[in-house]
């Protein structure tokens, strides 16, 4: 029996990932910011949300198929952008994308990924979305947008909740940064995890060097040197901190596909996003990784759904670990859920097979939960399923 066969839920996959990955890599994906308040708040709010079972109903044909942004998906789920996937498994983004393709759900490639966007869009078999961070030299970001459109990505997600960067103190304690840098602490960390060293970092080195942010524009890459990459360097300091709704207009002008604004936590911001041409918004507190004082996403979700109405699709992320969590989000008005850590634990545990295992677990749990609440289709999931005191 393989280690994936002994994984019965996302928590089991997380434990396999924890054991396999260097501490710096694992805590980068597993932890939030500062005191982990927002991280814990996401889970606490989902746990506190209860569902009412419905009895004596026909649940012989429960189906999870859901249209997302006008195209079919096998379940109401999208794999979120996770830029460090390529450090959890060799070409981890590509493994995740292939798993998404097999499962019939969209996959989002992060700006800071280590796999070329063209490979993901053209070879993975998944509905490919691209996630954007805006650089201070915005024309460099527009280069990425045009390149993604040319490669065939169907949707663009602009992540807007970045402020002045995140205070993730565990990274400093672990000597961890992105791109991955060689220092005393990271060397010790790697040596304590020989399987990861051989199958991930070793493969990158044998292929020609350390993993790089291969999708950064060449003009951007050429500015940096450092211990982590022949071209790239730590670019957080050059992310745009002077942005406005006019930037949404600009993206709407140059992007031909679906435009999604991610990181919305206020109803008025959601309304503005729709007014400026967004096809969807993602209610997100970045998985508790940025503003540690942020409320849970499902706490603000209903007001945002009410504010947007049918003018755009509302997607939600942060904290989802069970299929029942997905059902709760749909009952509160979301069209679909972005999952980041759940599938990242999967790919860290077993590459494409691990990611497929994570998706299969969520799908099975969701189907079972829908049967309990008497919903044969995702469109049957309504607010009446939520128990309120």
Q: Could you give the CA distance from residue 52 to residue 41 in angstroms, rounded to a whole number?
A: 22
In 36-66, which positions are buried (b, 16+ CB within 10 angstroms) versus exposed (e)? ebbbebbbebbeebebeeeeeeeeeebebeb
Q: Could you give the CA distance from residue 88 to residue 131 in angstroms, rounded to a whole number?
A: 19
- Vertex 115, ends 177 and 321: CA angle to 5°? 70
Query: In terms of Cα–Cα distance, which of 25, 109, 34 is closest to 285?
Result: 34
Concerning whether 286 is annotated as a catalytic residue, the answer is: yes
Is the Cβ–Cβ distance between 128 and 232 less than 8 Å? no
- Vertex 79, ends 224 and 95: CA angle to 5°? 70
CA 183 → CA 151, 172, 180, 189, 230, distances in Å?
36, 12, 10, 10, 16
Helix (H) or strand (E) holding 119: helix 117-123
DSSP string, 292-313: TTPPPHHHHHHHHHHHHTTSSE
Active-site residue, selected from the candidate residues 90, 193, 276, 286 = 286
Query: In terms of Cα–Cα distance, which of 292, 313, 293, 288 is closest to 301?
Result: 313
- Vertex 249, ends 246 and 251: CA angle to 5°? 115
Active site amino acids:
286
């Amino acid at each position: 029996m393989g280690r994936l066969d002994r994984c019965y839920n996302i928590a089991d996959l997380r434990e396999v990932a924890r054991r396999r990955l260097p501490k710096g890599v694992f805590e980068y994906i597993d932890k939030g910011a500062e005191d982990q308040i927002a991280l814990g708040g996401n889970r606490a709010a989902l746990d506190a949300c209860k569902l009412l079972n419905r009895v004596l109903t026909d649940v012989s044909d429960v189906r999870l198929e859901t249209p997302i942004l006008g195209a079919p998906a096998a379940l109401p789920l999208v794999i979120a952008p996770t830029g460090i996937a390529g450090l959890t498994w060799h070409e981890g983004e590509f493994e995740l994308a292939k798993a998404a393709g097999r499962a019939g759900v969209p996959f989002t490639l992060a700006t800071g990924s280590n796999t070329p966007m063209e490979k993901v869009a053209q070879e993975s078999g998944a509905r490919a979305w691209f996630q954007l961070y805006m650089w201070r030299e915005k024309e460099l970001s527009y280069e990425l947008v045009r390149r993604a459109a040319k490669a065939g990505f169907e949707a663009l997600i602009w992540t807007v909740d970045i402020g002045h960067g995140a205070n993730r103190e565990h990274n400093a304690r672990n000597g961890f940064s992105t791109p991955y840098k060689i220092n005393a602490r990271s060397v010790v960390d790697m040596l304590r995890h020989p399987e990861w060293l051989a199958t991930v970092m070793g493969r990158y080195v044998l292929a020609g060097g350390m993993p790089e942010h291969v999708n950064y524009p060449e003009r951007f890459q050429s500015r940096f040197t450092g211990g982590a990459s022949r071209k790239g360097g730590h670019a957080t300091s050059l992310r745009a901190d002077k942005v406005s709704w006019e930037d949404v207009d600009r993206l709407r002008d140059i992007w031909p596909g679906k435009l999604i604004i991610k990181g919305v936590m206020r109803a008025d911001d959601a309304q503005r996003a729709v007014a400026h041409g967004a096809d969807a918004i993602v209610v997100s507190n970045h998985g508790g990784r940025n503003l540690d004082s942020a409320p849970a996403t499902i706490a603000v979700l209903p007001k945002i759904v009410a504010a947007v109405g049918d003018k755009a699709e509302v997607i939600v992320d942060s904290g989802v670990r069970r299929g029942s969590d997905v059902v709760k989000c749909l009952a509160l008005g979301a069209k679909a859920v972005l999952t980041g850590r759940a599938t990242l634990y999967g790919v860290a545990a077993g590459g494409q097979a691990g990611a497929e295992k994570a998706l299969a677990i969520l799908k099975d749990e969701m189907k079972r939960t829908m049967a309990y609440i008497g919903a044969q289709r995702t469109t049957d999931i309504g607010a009446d399923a939520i128990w309120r005191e």
